[in-house]
Amino acid sequence: MRRRVIIIITSLMFTILSPVWAAPVGDTYLIFAWDGSLFAHAINAGSVTLIGPASAALTTELPGYDVYTLASAPFTMPPDEGYGFQHGVWSSDHSQLVYLEIAPPHYRVRLQTVAGDNHLLIADQLSATRGYLDPVGWTADGALVLVERVLLNYLTGISVWWLDPATGALDRQTFQPVDRLSGRSALLPHGGTVFLGFNLTQEVGYLYDIHSGQVRTFVTQLNQLLPPAKGFNHYPLQVCGALSTADLATFTTHIQTSTVAAVHPDQPAPFLHWPLPDDARSITCYPDAEWTHANFDVTCPSQARDYTGHQGTDVGGLPDGLAPGTPVYPAAPGVVVATYRDCLGQNPSCNGSYGNTVTLEHVLVVDGAAQVWYTGYGHLQTVLAENYTYLAALDEPLALSGATGTGGAHLHFEVRDVTQWVDPWDDHAGDSLWLGGNAQPLALVSAFDADTVPEVLAICTSYSGNNIRSGPGTAFGTIGKTVQGTTYHVLDITFVDDAAARGDWYHVRYEGGAGWLWSGVVNCGLTP
């Protein structure tokens, strides 16, 4: 395994952030890493402080209850079971550690005592109805507090569970829908409150009181640090734990006097499949990285060779093209982080020029630890995947390619770890991230032609009372009405420039007939 070492500290960050020694006495600080540096966020003051570079040993050095690295866990993972350690939390007396381990899409919650006993508490799998149950703390009477997470670095709703370790009884204590929160959860030093995540749009953080079950918010100034997110950068902040003022002072002194570097996770074994049919390999632009510049002589259309800021592989476009409507497949099993589907044509300003997009979260097990990676798919004509769905079948399309955004008909494919974008072609220190290697990344789907088009592209439902038409567009007559809860099988998708209902029209089959529905009235997922 190779490591990528990068130290990034910009002088701008020092000018916009408060110095740590000016913090109010008694405040609590969330510690998080971003862009190669380590920061402390004061919950009461809302200020953010740069305290030094991030390091691989970060979470082993943090005092408190949370454990985020295998190196700091008091046990050895069972061999050959395929599970990777993700997160653990100590009891207040440090007599036992409860931890989450993952073998996607399966997961387990286990309890380890200092005496060496290990007990299985939960064995389950990620599904449409339940996410991972991630332990975050303990109640005064010994119940375990778990936060349900469909995505490991985001929360899509506040759902808190209590587990009785003695009986195995599991009860949900609260549920509250909420816009997506960024960051991992952490138990605050006094042990009675859990940090849930940041809503970066509303500029607030969320806290959960273990004793009362109440949720409250606090103001954050993170938007002074983070530029506006666009494309596939949704800021999965690496929250590592929480410290009191006294512990932060000691920790800051240690960080600032130590020789440390920002170390990215060990490179995983190749895990990416080619996200298009086997014959769709006309690469017109590689990532904007030194290694690919030196090894691939490809000039991006209408761009200089040094296409600054281009962080993905472009497939198609001029001169060879990628036919709009070509199926786009998941590069690896994963959960849909976010979709954008409101772009109707080549509007350069739509979604930051990326057009319609899908972002996936992938969990990999590397050397006994669970790693999180992301892939992004851009300029799509039609998005078929639904947010927070786990995609396991890699031969079923998550979207159809298109020309939305800017750049013409092509697919923009991007890879990220939790800190930055990654060049999947870079194999100078070992394997690339492509299964099959750089010369011919492995495709799971044969050449795309009329004989290989899936009989059913997607399965959809619709609100009741929408028109079913005899052809694509409002110029065709109405032949029926949709019924809520009815299943519609999509056989074909075509774009129609219809002022009344511009966009994709779906040719659907259902029990009792067939017809055409406008995409604005259907809710589609992947075929099962």
Q: Quick one: which of 17, 21, 22 has its CA closest to 32?
A: 17
pLDDT at 9: 28
Q: What is the pTM of this model?
A: 0.83
CA angle 474, 492, 520 (to 5 degrees): 45
What is the 3 state secondary structure string of 126-153?
CCCCCCEEEEEEECCCCCEEEEEECECC
Mind listing the pLDDT tens digit for each residue in 416-455?
Answer: 998 888 999 998 877 889 999 998 999 998 876 545 555 6
CA distances from 379 to 307, 353, 474 (A): 18, 8, 26
pLDDT tops 70 at residue 95:
yes
The CATH topology of domain 5-263 is Neuraminidase (2.120.10)
The CATH topology of domain 458-525 is SH3 type barrels. (2.30.30)
75, 118 Cβ separation under 8 angstroms: yes
pLDDT at 292: 86
418, 238 Cβ separation under 8 angstroms: yes
Domain with CATH 2.120.10 in the chain: 5-263
pLDDT at 5: 31
Mean pLDDT of the region 142-163: 92
- Residues making up the chain, counted from first to last: 528
Tokens encoding 180: 């997506």
Residues ≥6 apart with Cβ < 8 Å to 234: 154, 180, 182, 337, 338, 359
Residues ≥6 apart with Cβ < 8 Å to 189: 28, 64, 242, 243, 244, 247
Q: Which is higher by pLDDT, 520 or 118?
A: 118
Q: How many helices (H) and strands (E) does the chain have?
A: 4, 35
Mind listing the pLDDT tens digit for each residue in 188-231?
Answer: 888 789 999 999 889 999 999 988 889 999 999 888 888 877 77
Domain with CATH 2.30.30.40 in the chain: 458-525
CATH of 283-416, one of 3.40.50.720, 1.10.357.10, 3.40.640.10, 2.70.70.10: 2.70.70.10
165, 111 Cβ separation under 8 angstroms: yes
Residues ≥6 apart with Cβ < 8 Å to 10: none
- Indicate if the alpha-carbon torsion angle 461, 464, 466, 468 is positive or negative: positive
Q: Give percent of the chain with pLDDT exceeding 70.
A: 86
Q: Report CA 441 to chain centroid distance, whole Å.
A: 23
Domain with CATH 2.70.70.10 in the chain: 283-416
